């Protein structure tokens, strides 16, 4: 396949990878509908594409609202025709060390990264299945491969997304719908800009968009990048737990190092 089949509907397209994918596809002549919460940012993407690009239709959407998702899909198909390719790239990320974890934090991650993804994907899948053709790509993350310190909530939501994609792939394929998952490593986007730690092998949103678009021209289930980083994490999850946990152990806290021998942090706080 040399061309991505359109129309394409991208949910999570106002910034980052989704924005770059939308612009590249439109400039390649593929009609695109773009959704996110911010109408102003969506219109800015559409304006940026330029007069020679294919049509970009902004469709503001809160993907956590099931009724709004159904209405948005109707609007997209009325404007551009039946959706041939769906990309769900909306995401929520917050660094969360163990001592900051709350149930609400998990709910916040799952609401955007998992349940909203399901709501959008299943809405499109029903129509694609009825037509006997279509493609759904869910943007997951290498954080879903294995447990990583500080990413318990984010990684769990992405692991759940990948699990659903794996489960749907065989049955959807029988009905003519290809389900794919993209597993990026670190990508330079507004979502990662505040990370206070080194991000190995980080790539630009434009390069990530190129990898995603290349994956949309194949029938591969998983598109993962950058390759060196994703391979490393896949190897890590194969290690015995004692070795894996030894490698993942965070450095000692500064306040722990200052404790007298035999004193605990809680003991010190009480004094």
Do residues 10 and 87 touch, judged by C-beta distance below 8 A? yes
CA distance to 15, 26, 50, 229, per residue, from 57 (Å):
15, 10, 13, 35
Tokens 């899948």 belong to: 125
Catalytic residue among 88, 145, 154, 244: 154
The answer to whether residues 92 and 108 touch, using CB atoms and an 8 Å cutoff, is yes
Give 99's DSSP letter. G
List, as own/partner pairs, every contact residues 206-210 make where C-beta atoms lie below 8 angstroms and the sequence separation is at least 24, other chains included. 206/20, 206/24, 208/17, 208/20, 208/184, 209/17, 209/20, 209/21, 209/24, 210/24
Instruction: Give the ranges where 132-204 is alpha helix by DSSP (H).
Output: 152-174
Chain centre distance of CA 10: 12
DSSP 145: T
Angle between helices 103-110 and 152-174 (to 10 degrees): 30
DSSP character for 252?
P
Query: Are the C-beta atoms of residues 136 and 128 closer than 8 Å to each other?
Result: yes
Interatomic CA distance for residues 22 and 9, integer angstroms: 9
Residue 187 main-chain phi, psi, to 5 deg:
-125, 135
Residue 244 a catalytic site member: no
Per-residue tokens: 39? 């109408």
Name the residues annotated as catalytic: 154
């Amino acid at each position: 396949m040399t061309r991505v089949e359109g129309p394409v509907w991208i949910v999570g397209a106002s910034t980052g990878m989704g924005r770059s994918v939308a612009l590249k596809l439109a400039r390649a002549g593929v009609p695109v509908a773009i959704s996110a919460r911010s109408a102003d940012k969506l219109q800015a993407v559409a304006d940026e594409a330029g007069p020679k690009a294919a049509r970009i239709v902004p469709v503001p959407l809160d993907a956590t609202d099931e009724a709004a998702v159904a209405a948005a899909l109707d609007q997209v198909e009325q404007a551009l025709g039946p959706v041939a390719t769906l990309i769900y790239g909306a995401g929520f990320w917050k660094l969360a060390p163990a001592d900051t974890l709350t149930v609400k934090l998990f709910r916040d991650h799952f609401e955007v990264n998992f349940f909203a993804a399901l709501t959008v994907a299943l809405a499109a899948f029903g129509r694609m299945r009825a037509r006997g053709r279509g493609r759904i790509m869910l943007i997951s993350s290498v954080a879903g491969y294995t447990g990583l310190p500080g990413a318990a909530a984010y990684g769990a939501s992405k692991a759940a997304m990948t699990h659903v994609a794996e489960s749907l792939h065989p049955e959807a394929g029988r009905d003519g719908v290809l389900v794919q998952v993209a597993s990026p490593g670190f990508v330079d986007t507004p979502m990662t800009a505040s990370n206070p730690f080194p991000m190995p092998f980080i790539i630009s949103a434009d390069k990530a968009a190129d990898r995603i678009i290349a994956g949309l021209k194949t029938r591969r289930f998983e598109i993962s990048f950058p390759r060196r980083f994703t391979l490393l994490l896949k190897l890590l999850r194969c290690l015995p737990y004692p070795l894996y946990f030894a490698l993942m152990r965070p450095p000692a806290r500064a306040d722990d190092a200052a404790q007298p021998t035999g004193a605990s942090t809680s003991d010190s706080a009480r004094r």
